[in-house]
Chains A and B, each alone.
Chain A
């Protein structure tokens, strides 16, 4: 019996119906879903032997030791290294360290700015252009400056040597999170760095510093948290304020007068006999006299002073916020003075002297550097932006202030970003994990330490190690200085540490870490390069050796301004902030969208926070697109309300820049940084903004 067309069609229909009851369509749909991704983004499982290597995360000054897991030559995962003597885990940013070498904003070779674009050039051509600019700047009597965000490395030494050989060289740094300690150290009669004896501290009072959200060495803070009372003075309920034992809402920019009011109350409670100049300063800052400036009721200030005295040893910490920028130098002096009044300098549980890292204790080192805020405006003819990142925001206008007309900016930054985009010459350095790097003592450390991060990945051919660039530049300028390689310099520092006879070396072993006695300098360096570290021993004399201190007092004009009632400006006070490592020059991994855009676990730079009263007064509602207008620039954001936020303030994150995560290039600026208003003292946190419907 022949098949008719009708039979065939029924047979096919039956086949289709039957197929829906099998795995064929469903499994094929499921499996082929992988093809819906962009072809270049298709995951290709790494193959090869699995290995694990030690490294140090250098995305912020914490320098957390990490373990990098490799499949073959490809890094596939990063994990914190709790077994390491300096370890204690890693943050979400550190866990994505291995992504950065493949970041879309990665710069892979030298380039010169041509009009609005860039032209790729050879390293020789880039070095020649820089040498030519240096000669021109010197002939015009302008300074040649290097901006180093992470001083103290061997690469910093290379810059210092080169700059010392130049008649108008200037080594420039920016304030870090340890600025309060540095301010106090500057007043010591016998120069020394200071550390925080956190293990014996009972109370910490933070003037806007993110003590519980990424400050110093977080693992140390976590370990000391039990038994430690943290009081956070902040303009908003920041992540650190949310984790603190007590949050005191202060007016934005009132850190200086608040510290003096607190010092006044402490001195009054303790009936201290103060030196005449200190007493004169504090006289004008009785809590009731500065209430309009600080926004804190006098009774609360007195209660807080009693808390500090009952919870002694107590320490006050400033240093600013990674996104909000540093406090003014006068505010830091006021916080330093509070520490003096609290008697925390040199005391057990207070701020204690720390011996310098061997090989870095030359007396000329501190004197040879200058703060960016102290560089004369328009005086720099060539500015080199060193590759190191401290994880803190630095708005371009703050840098641009020091530049002379027609100045040449040279960027060694490995990634494209707001600072690199201003550069005339780009010589990108290797990305994290691609070159040598160091973990230096953190701001809070009571003992010096040193760890190395070896080059675990091969950098692109166009990148140039910072020390190699310094050598090339010295050669082009005909100077003998700074010719040693990066590894040679690291070996020399390791040898200097070993020769000092101080502290202990810790080497990586099969079972973890153990104290080691390297037989020679080579073995010492090898142990450090393989993931070991050096940790200094306790300082002779210990905390009981009270240093002599002559604190620098806030300047008269600052005292006069703080003592007068605050004048409300138009609009809202901008409160900028960022988590450490998200607003620096290293863009975050695109995976951090999980934290900032998909989960809302962190407030992104696309969300502006105001109080419900302000939103209601302006006729704005939750999640409404708005324009936040500064003095010269406006940014777009989505409005959010926070009932804990006092009226008159707008909170906006400075990072991570959403454009570095995934947004298309050329989008309107976002976040707090474009709104920053540089002040004469290097701070940029006091800005006023208006909010309108977008």
Chain B
């Protein structure tokens, strides 16, 4: 292969790599911003002393750990706690009219799957950070991305990840109905 052919090959490869890693995800995923800016870093700081479960409580039957409802926010944010535009919007547009915030859920499971947080967090003792790394230290929520082909959230956990962990810990690994309904 002469030098010119090598340059053409390298250029083609570079363009493909650039497209594949930079442009393709933008084409594949439709992104939506969360309705409000939210800082986990601020809320989970030493100053507040909140842990994950203080806001993301698990329901009695162990279903979805849950995006906190407005009443959780309203306890502290009945009046603006700062001067930011989002803080003002939170109070004016959501807390005072009693309107729930339409948070976009990153890991919403398909309807043929059940994922009980209680079993994983309480019984198996898996830390929240294991599946949601870095979430508690983030200063702003990332945009929500939806796969245009499957319609599912980009943050959705893959079945192979579930299978791997279940196999590793011998947790209901052969029982389809453990996860699928």
Contact = CB atoms under 8 A, between A and B. Distances in A.
A31 B114 CA distance: 21
Contacts of A595: 177
A10 B8 CA distance: 6
A14 interface: yes
Contact of B20 (A24, A46, A79): A24
A93 to B, nearest CB: 11
Contact of B8 (A8, A27, A31): A8
A8 B181 CA distance: 52
A472 interface: no
A16 interface: yes
A588 to B, nearest CB: 13
Interface string A596-635: 0011000000000000000000000000000000000000
B78 interface: no
A333 B168 CA distance: 54
B177 A92 contact: yes
Contacts of A24: 16, 19-20, 24
A43 B112 contact: yes
A18 B15 contact: yes
A18 B20 contact: yes
A13 interface: yes
Majority-rule SS of B interface residues: helix
Contact of B114 (A17, A46, A77): A77
B174 A599 contact: yes
Contacts of B114: 77
B51 interface: no
Given A13-B12, A15-B15, A594-B176, A21 B20 contact: yes
A15 to B, nearest CB: 4
B20 A19 contact: yes
A598 B177 CA distance: 12
A31 B19 CA distance: 18
Contacts of B11: 11, 14
A23, A43, A45, A77: which has the most chain B beta carbons within 10 Å?
Answer: A45
Contact of A599 (B9, B19, B20, B175): B175
Contacts of B10: 14
A63 B83 CA distance: 58
B111 interface: yes
A22 B5 contact: no
B4 interface: yes
A71 interface: yes
Nearest to A511: B60
Contacts of B13: 14-15, 17-18, 21
Given A10-B9, A31-B150, A22 B16 contact: yes
B61 interface: yes
A31 B16 contact: no
Contacts of A15: 12-13, 15-16
A10 B12 contact: yes
B16 A71 contact: no
A165 interface: no
B16 A19 contact: yes
B24 A22 contact: yes
B150 A594 contact: no
A128 interface: no
A22 B27 CA distance: 14
A476 interface: no
B111 A95 contact: no
A79 B59 CA distance: 14
| Main SS at interface, chain A | helix
B177 to A, nearest CB: 6
Contacts of B6: 10
A34 B150 contact: yes
Interface string A571-603: 000000000000000000001001100110000
A27 B181 contact: no
A95 B150 contact: no
B25 interface: yes
A76 interface: yes
Interface in A16-50: 16-19, 21-24, 27-28, 31-32, 34, 43, 45-46
A10 B112 contact: no
A510 interface: no
A95 B12 contact: no
A12 interface: yes
B122 to A, nearest CB: 17
Nearest to A99: B181
Interface string A422-434: 0000000000000
A31 B151 CA distance: 10
Nearest to B21: A22
B132 to A, nearest CB: 22
Contacts of A31: 28, 147, 149-150
Given A18-B16, A71-B111, A23 B177 contact: no
Most buried by B among A6, A12, A22, A92: A22
Contacts of A14: 8-14, 16
B24 A594 contact: no
Contact of B181 (A34, A43, A95): A95
B17 interface: yes
B110 interface: yes
Contacts of A6: 5, 8
B124 to A, nearest CB: 21
Contacts of B9: 10-11, 13-14, 17
Contacts of A7: 4-5, 8
A94 B77 CA distance: 44
Contacts of B181: 76-77, 95
A76 B8 CA distance: 54
Most chain B C-beta atoms within 10 Å of own C-beta, residue among A13, A15, A31, A92: A15
Interface string B149-181: 111000000000000000000000011110011
Interface of A: 3, 6-8, 10-19, 21-24, 27-28, 31-32, 34, 43, 45-46, 71, 76-77, 79, 92, 95, 591, 594-595, 598-599
Given A14-B11, A43-B111, A591-B177, 18 more contacts: A7-B4, A10-B9, A10-B12, A11-B11, A12-B12, A13-B9, A14-B10, A14-B13, A14-B16, A16-B12, A16-B16, A21-B17, A22-B16, A23-B20, A27-B28, A43-B110, A45-B111, A599-B176
Interface of B: 1, 4-6, 8-17, 19-21, 24-25, 28, 61, 110-112, 114, 147, 149-151, 174-177, 180-181
